[in-house]
Amino acid sequence: MLGVAYRWSVSAVLDLHDVTFRRNGVEILHGIDLRVEQGQHWAMLGRNGAGKSTVLGFCAARAHPTAGTVAVLGHQLGRVDVAQIRKHIGHVDPRHRLSTPLTAREVVLTGVTGTIDVPMRWVPTAAQIARADELLAEAGVIAHRDSVWQTMSQGERGRTLIARALIAAPRLLLLDEPTTGLDVAAREQYLATMDRMAAGNPDMTSVLVTHHLEELPTSTTHAVLIADGRVTAAGPVAATLTTEAVTGAFDHPIAVTHDGGRFSARAR
């Protein structure tokens, strides 16, 4: 991608070209280029404040660039009703703000309506309920389908949110630091769930934002490193997450190892 003449791709699930973004007069993104094709699973990494969450906001059709172009699911932002795009995007955020005592099954069903709570007078169909249970089973939390959200562990909630994101059969799945707050066992269960979901949905595309290489599922196909609002490396995951590239993006000497499809990093 880097150093290659840009070509607009109408087939890309995500296509960001020369994207600049300013907030309160301060430029925080500087000419971002990123192209994600169908069926690819990207990891976006960088230090705190690098600009990852801002880029993810464009991917979710929740923000517009100050300059440059962003196309999501083949539609350029600013020329399309973003509400229509968002119907085809699943979003997994561990900071899911839920105050009402919904069960895990009900939380998954809110993915059908795209709401936080179950809408008044809305009744799911038998097929939707069956699909919710099927996804809870795939996520490994079917035993908790009747558990109230507030009583569930962080790991159980995280896997339930994957099921919630998938019930609407999204073309694009966005995961914003999904392993935040998980212990080692819960993290490994979560990553195994993500790998199963990727295998079971071969046409779906995903973008995962994280700070930690250890939190990348084995299904990750590509990666992009962002530092100070710029893309410093992007492409196939094994060729991108190298010791040299990660050291540069995090501005610290970091040794990267890759074994059995999993990455790890430690200071040199």
Domain boundaries, the chain: 90-169
Which pLDDT belongs to residue 214?
93
Which pLDDT belongs to residue 171?
92
Give tens-digit pLDDT for 228-245: 999 999 999 999 999 999
Give tens-digit pLDDT for 146-196: 999 999 988 899 889 989 988 988 999 999 988 887 888 888 988 988 898
DSSP 119: P
What lies within 8 Å, CB to CB, of 160 at 6+ separation is 104, 107, 108, 136, 139, 141, 144, 149, 152
Question: Which whole-number Å values give the CA distances from 39 to 118, 171, 207, 222, in the listed order?
Answer: 31, 9, 11, 11
Is 202 in a helix, a strand, or coil? coil
Structure tokens at 164: 């919630």
Q: Are 160 and 144 in contact (CB under 8 A)?
A: yes
DSSP 40: -
Q: How far apart are CA 97 and CA 135, in angstroms?
A: 21
Closest CA to 154 of 199, 206, 106, 189: 189
pTM reported for the whole predicted model: 0.87
Which pLDDT belongs to residue 10?
52
pLDDT along the chain (268 residues), means of 10: 41 92 92 95 93 92 92 91 88 81 94 87 94 91 94 89 90 90 86 88 92 93 96 96 96 94 91
Q: How far apart are CA 38 and CA 51, in angstroms?
A: 24
